[in-house]
Structure 1
């Protein structure tokens, strides 16, 4: 316990406040600057407030498709040259998409900061969206879906949970979308999607790292981004889901697996709420590591399962809390679910120990330090807290929420959200034709 206390204090001491400056350009683009001269690298990143939830039900996959399409080239960067420019100047780059946002970034030696800013401004102002690019990236996305979803064991788990948990909200479809929808889309539809969502007033630019000359950096930002015309204000539709009041039962057959999995999923509130953070801590308590309650009891002690776990799938509008278990030997998935339920009932009726609570908080202190231990992590956190949470300074203060959670809150939140009549039970099983072989 003494060692744990020392480690906790060390983590807190190391977790230095992240300093930043933020302002708006006249076209509505938000800018966040973070200077860290500890290493001669700088990241230029742009997060757009567009994700899979902004798509039409018959045109899913657009947001993820654009993650790929906007590397095709611009009016001033020839097709196929983007990655060559980055690597030849000592940089790296990438992008990723969720249901709520799309994020692009470059990491360069700090003497190439202007290059990074120019490239991201080119992506925003001068993208070339033509049929050859659409056709090329269509094949790339199809291959990604085959590798990561269709041919990946348990690759459809999240998609199947979402499909059954949401009936009205666009979270009900997979982020990667439907290949049939992408095939059916016309070039004009892709161009219209870009015009609507890829605008400066729907974006936040983050520059983080070794910014040697702040005044010059601001001049470059104005030069490359300030002249981009503001887009039309986006009218976002609000979707709500009726509470789940009785168990939803579903079945999915996966041809890539031999061992069944039982999944219990609960719909949870927006990641911006305190309740969602408490549910994060419940997830960690139940299943983070081999010393967690579920693993120790069901895998180690009773040897009923090959694997059990729980995780929070946090999103801007709603989240999901997902438990899963894979039986071992002759054990059945129903028995695994009963054991997981027993641990939840214990949480709902008994306070966890002070020692367990402190252990949880120590883990969140460590996670907090780790998430801000690199310039890349800080840049993405700054963008996320602005774009999805509406409060950039959460990069410094969100840890205080976790620090303030009480044992009573953990019990009460478990009672509020984790009841059998409020969940989906999904039997994720081997495909029958394969199981019979």
Structure 2
């Protein structure tokens, strides 16, 4: 007999008008999804006399605020012969002003617990922070300084150019498909518009840039009448207006026009085929580029819906036909919707079990099917819900709402366009999708790109590029703005002082244990209309009893068939709800996570219960996943950073559980369905699990939901088996150089040490030591490796949270010839924790950094439930959510110095360098005479010692 549960009035309200009686699990699985609604961008707007557009979105639920400035200048405005210049300038703008010392903006933001970044797109450049709201005026002042009083000198220019070139190497040259995405695809999709040039630029054109170019660019585009200031979060409107008038009002706009490069992309008159080659391409790739309209075109919403039907999730047409069809290891699309006209670009990574011709034929069949048969009502509804749910998810935070507004303005010049576009998405019909598919996905206007490994290039063949129609950019007039110099200490104006601080309200949580032993934790995160749940089960690699892939595969296979639902049915259901479901395995646990709009909470929870309790482990699904996973592993293990991480893990922990890295191809091929079923029946039981529910749901309603979905889950009588040791003996220090040869576009450096477990009383001091060493852009690693020496795009350190032994890890990627130097600098910074301990002022600033990062993590529903799941898995009390900031606050500089000296021994470090060893081996040997050099192909990842 099916049980029926009476809902409280609060529960009925939370579930979006659900009936008075709750659904049973079976009924909830078939209940129709509700359509989510993203909150409108409720803003105020005014224009200053100098032309600055000011938008404010007030949200006083949390004492944080986001300050964003969006400039109407992007990569399309790069000067002639200077591709990548807008992006280079983005880096330069944050370095030094009349009153801000070099690099101090990062310090100013991180030291108060905030975060900052910037980005350059084809049509815009934006600069943004999130800070405690009592520092709002300080952030406004920094933006006004950068707009009006920028200082540029030769040393800043050369340092930032070097950093941008390292970014290009790391994001483009060092990854298997970087050149395809950043160069080949872009350069062959336009012939007249300046989008033809890669936003990140080229090494050669960056080298050709000068300081005079920088000054001319700032003068031409960084002016108040070319910018939008967006403030979102906690503020008093009258006070904010006064601050904006004070700091931005005096900035004058030049009386000359803003330079604009004018071009019109001609209509393609025929198809074109391109074959390009590059090193380090593990599997062939395909991209088809179709011209697409301007972002504000009436067809945009229908194209977004079409893209969701083709590519969004495991129920999408491309995934079902191409990936599950066996011709692709992955399939998606680039939907470039730009101000002056974009492109739609399906991309396929060819499966190792297929070939490029079969993949092209399958892709063509799907495009033909769309253009001839249209889409179903179910596909249409699912796609619309997915897009609306994504908007809802992104607008959970004030920063997310500010970004949606800024993107709307940058794309179209209209702040209301984003909301109107969501309304247009909700109104898209099947006929609309068919019409835009026939209009824009035309074979006679397609550029068909094949991307192959360099080893397959015929002798004498070069990569083709779309023929250029004229030049791509202006020759900017010389700078007319008076040069600005950095003020002396006596002349410098200090940042505005912060106002009184508001105390944040900690999250509320409740706990209950069901009669079957299932621990249930409910975390209420304000009134966010989003549901998030995590089911955490003890087990993981340690339950597997040795190296293998059962843990990884069992977690993944949960969502690939359960009850009477196939993998496709599960994917369709969660996507119809506008949510996501995923599972993963760790060293000592497995987790199943689900999230969805709150109006579909009960349906999402029912799906989670079905997947958790009744997986089928069908043989056909196992083979399907095995094929995808092995191809993914092959691609992953062609990236220097991933290889360094895998080698370091094995060298640091040997044959113990913590020493297991990603499952190897041999380990994956050995997994059977019987092993998965046995693992699940042994470890997935209510008395070995914790369920976390987060969102705006009242606790009693959430406990009732847990009881309905999991209350009759029975615990076996048998006791749980013992788990394997997690740590084992420390194998000791090693220095290993992995030689990838010429395929390595960059070298990766990783330095690792064992550290304290999470429940160790010294953990908080070690967390602060790690923050001093490599936390964010004010860590010593970032400052020395990137800011002062320009050796890397970024260098950081991390401290893992583990139950038996933590791990302190230092990372960087650099050009191959600088690998030895970078390694030495990183080790020097590790030594400095002991030789040059941080003073109390530095510790106080790093305390703000840690607590600010933690506060932002738990700001969203998913972030809060994930944090609580981690605490639960580590055996920490739930009030760690409130205790963590207090514990960090209590650490002194003396504590950090003492713990660093006692528990960090650089002589025991495991050092791994992966790259083109011919370019740095001679520099490694004198410094590390015990270093071992090994070809990548000779490493045996099935052995804990790698065969070394």
- TM beyond 0.5: yes
Q: Residue 354 of structure 2 aligns with which residue?
A: 331
2:312 to 269, 288, 303: 288
What is the distance in 1 between the residues matched to 2:207 and 2:30? 55
Instruction: List gaps (5 residues or longer) in structure 1.
Output: none
Look up the match of 2:290: 266
- Residue 208 of structure 1 corresponds to 232
Tell me if structure 2 keeps the 8 A contact 1:284–1:311.
no
1:223 & 1:233 partners in 2: Cα distance? 25
- Residue 172 of structure 1 is matched in structure 2 by 196
Q: Is this contact kept in 1: 2:66–2:128, CA < 8 A?
A: yes
* Structure 1 segment 22-421 matched on structure 2, within 5 A: 22-158=45-181, 159-211=183-235, 213-231=236-254, 232-300=256-324, 302-421=325-444
1:4, CA displacement in angstroms?
A: 7.9
- Secondary structure, aligned partner of 2:34: helix
- In 2, Cα distance between the equivalents of 1:371 and 1:58? 37
Query: In the superposition, relative to structure 1, how do residues 195 and 419 fare at CA in structure 2: closer, same or farther (>3 Å)?
Result: same
Q: Supply the distance in 2 between the matched residues of 1:172 and 1:59 (Cα, whole angstroms).
A: 13
Higher relative contact order (CA 8 A, sep 6+): 1
**CA–CA separation in structure 2 for the residues paired with 1:379 and 1:138:** 30
Question: Offset of 1:330 from its aligned partner?
Answer: 4.9
Q: Is the 8 A contact 1:57 1:170 kept in 2?
A: no
Q: Deviations over 1:38-69 (max 9, x none)?
A: 11101111000111111123111110001110
Could you tell which deviates more after superposition, 157-166 or 192-201? 157-166
Q: 1:7 to 1:117 in 2, by over 3 A?
A: farther
Deviates more, 1:94-103 or 1:249-258: 249-258
Higher mean C-alpha displacement, 96-105 vs 343-352: 343-352
- 2:407, 2:310 → 1: CA distance? 27
Deviation at 1:6, TM superposition (A): 5.5
Q: Equivalents in 2 of 1:130, 1:255: separation in Å?
A: 37
For the Cα contact (< 8 Å) 1:325–1:333, is it kept in 2? no
Tell me the TM-score normalised to structure 1 length: 0.95
Q: State the distance in 2 between where 1:88 and 1:309 align.
A: 40
Contact 1:197 1:234 in 2 (8 A): yes
Distance 1:329 1:384, change over 3 A: closer
Give 3-state SS (helix, strand or coil) of 1:8's partner.
Answer: coil
1:8 alignment partner in structure 2: 34
**For the residues of structure 2 that align with 1:93 and 1:418, how far apart are their CA atoms?**
39
Deviation of 1:276 (Å):
2.5
RMSD over equivalenced CA pairs, Å: 1.8
Q: Summarize deviations over 1:65-88 as a string: whole Å, max 9, x none.
A: 011101111110111222111112
More deviation in 237-246 or 398-407? 237-246
Aligned partners of 2:120, 2:306: CA distance in 1, in Å? 27
Contact residue 97 and residue 150 of structure 2 kept, 8 A = yes
1 CA distance for matches of 2:156 and 2:245?
Answer: 30
Matched-pair contact (CA < 8 Å) for 1:265–1:322: yes
270-279 or 124-133, which moves further after superposition? Answer: 270-279
Deviation at 1:148? 0.3
Q: Deviations over 1:181-206 (max 9, x none)?
A: 22222211110110000000000000
- Structure 1 residues 78, 291: closer, same or farther in 2, change over 3 A? same
Q: Which runs of 4+ in 1 moved over 3 A?
A: 1-7
- SS of the aligned residue for 1:236 comes to coil
**Structure 1 residues 7, 109: CA separation in 2 closer, same or farther (over 3 Å shift)?**
farther
Could you say what secondary structure the match of 1:240 adopts? coil
- Partner of residue 835, structure 2: none
**8 Å CA contact 1:271, 1:277 repeated in 2:** no
Report the Cα distance in structure 1 between the residues aligned to 2:110 and 2:351, rounded to whole angstroms.
47
Where does residue 627 of structure 2 map in the other structure?
none
Q: Secondary structure at the match of 2:51?
A: coil
What TM-score results when the alignment is normalised by the length of structure 2? 0.44
- The range that moved more, 321-330 or 60-69, is 321-330
